[in-house]
Structure 1
């Protein structure tokens, strides 16, 4: 696997280009502001007409254009709208207007890999995907660092797609820590699997099940919150810093022994077999098909589940306990007033 750094990228290739960022959520804001701070002279944010987000964009000192206008204007167009909206945005506003020889960029391979979007042959199609949320992409850049990025070229109409992608990745901070070459399939399928089986699906269900087990056994919800949610960050930080062995070095022998004897009772061979079935659903396109069907219907099941999750007892207990720890809010990653 090849890794590139700032020294391998000619950042000048992006600084004079006309760049449009489609969407201004967590990633969109980070990309746009990092590009601007790196010296990119022509960065605009493309939004639907009348979007309330335009006020946030303008407050950050950036120009707003419609997606259709931006598609006809830009040399490079990075799509950072939600996955479920990208196909319609491309078909309705980008495809009729994007110029031959322009570059279409993505930060996730889903729409291209599963052929929801089929770009015309006369444009470059590539991916620059930071391996972290937008708040971290922005925060690390401002500290002088950067979040590692994945890079992949799906279509190289001009012969310069990789060089353009490296310049873009460098300008958002990726070249400071590493730009890793991959392909759309590998990025998309591993990303979906990691989110579902471990990072979001697996971890969240494990936390809730542990919390409920303790509360149902008569322990105080506050104790259950600390043991099953709050301290997850302490363990993950140790793993993040130096791997699982680093975490085991840092915890007590009692905790480590409990990990060895009880962990396999929770995550069993049956759990791994289910993970394999999850991966098969992703690889076959079944997951994406079901998700797009849910979106076409207005997301009724998705929104109902989101509402039930927000109403779980662990959320109320957590809000109360976090109020006792002001340093958490002081150092928060997410500012809903901005993103």
Structure 2
């Protein structure tokens, strides 16, 4: 049993192509474009999540983190077989114990480190993709075997099933979202302002810093050749400047900042509790949505306003 979102659609098709009979795959999805797509692709669709849970031997919980607790606790858990296997692709709700899981159920994590479209396309190319795997609750004594079998069936083992845990996956995921990328956003924002004060134009800055897609290419080369060694693709001036500059910076304050976020916001559940309080508000349409408020506040920066101006000029 699976929903048919980005990951659900990819994994369901990969399972079927790996030999799982179509009659053994049920897509539990509300009536929307995703369910129509599942039907067009020949899958059996059940709009009643409880009915789907009643017949499921293995349930792939592939819905957004903020949706999982209500859906699982209210609609799935009361109908789930006592020996059903629960498969998660994100450790968030299991690590923070937001799901009311019976002790008789196996809980395994099979978490592709790719977006759904890549999970599908790489499978079709026979290449596979890396995947985090763990047994979070081993009621049957065979939970890890099941996790590895699922990983094999969706195509992950061709690239590597990496032993992990819900804690590790959650820690790295939330840390990247709340420590690493916020600092990158701030670095770009402040660098933009400094260069703007030095007389650089909006267009030049936007293209030099990100719109040329050069940063995306750098990260792609880093994935292929190594985070440090990809620097050899840059000019000698660039290599020297980046290496010398990085070694001259004292990362002590940044390291302490990162530790504070990891231990005092992520792992202790502070963020999870904070986010739970505003989950309902995320369904609000318009300016009262807390996420939209954050977008507006962030886009009010000099960088944000400059990009809006540049994109408007390009559209003319």
Cα distance in 1, alignment partners of residues 116 and 313 from structure 2: 27
Which structure 1 segments of 5+ residues have no match? 1-19, 324-339
Q: Give the TM-score, by structure 1 length.
A: 0.80
Which structure 2 segments of 5+ residues have no match? 284-288
Q: CA deviation at 1:169?
A: 0.7
Alignment of 1:12-51 (within 5 A): 20-22=1-3, 24-41=4-21, 42-48=24-30, 50-51=31-32
Higher deviation after alignment, 52-61 or 173-182: 52-61
Q: CA deviation at 1:305?
A: 1.8
Kindly report the root-mean-square deviation, in angstroms, between the aligned alpha carbons of the 2 structures. Answer: 2.5
Q: CA deviation at 1:120?
A: 0.2
Residue 42 (structure 2) aligns with: 61
1:296 to 280, 295, 307: 280
Residue 56 (structure 2) aligns with: 74
Q: CA deviation at 1:219?
A: 1.9
8 Å CA contact 1:107, 1:130 repeated in 2: yes
Tell me: CA distance 1:164–1:320, structure 2 relative to 1, closer, same or farther (3 Å).
farther
Alignment of 1:1-339 (within 5 A): 20-22=1-3, 24-41=4-21, 42-48=24-30, 50-65=31-46, 66-198=48-180, 200-229=181-210, 230-263=213-246, 268-280=251-263, 281-298=265-282, 300-306=289-295, 312-313=304-305, 316=308
Cα distance in 1, alignment partners of residues 157 and 14 from structure 2: 13
8 Å CA contact 1:38, 1:172 repeated in 2: yes
> For residues 250-281 of structure 1, what are the alpha-carbon distances to aligned partners after superposition, in whole Å with 9 as ceiling and x for unaligned?
21221122213434677843222211111011
- Other structure's SS at 1:116 match: coil
Tell me: CA distance 1:191–1:267, structure 2 relative to 1, closer, same or farther (3 Å).
farther
Tell me: CA distance 1:321–1:160, structure 2 relative to 1, closer, same or farther (3 Å).
farther
> For residues 173-218 of structure 1, what are the alpha-carbon distances to aligned partners after superposition, in whole Å with 9 as ceiling and x for unaligned?
11101101122212211221123322x4343443344344434543
Tell me: CA distance 1:61–1:307, structure 2 relative to 1, closer, same or farther (3 Å).
farther
Tell me: CA distance 1:53–1:151, structure 2 relative to 1, closer, same or farther (3 Å).
same
Tell me: CA distance 1:61–1:207, structure 2 relative to 1, closer, same or farther (3 Å).
farther
**How many residue pairs are counted as aligned between the two chains?**
301
Q: CA deviation at 1:220?
A: 2.6
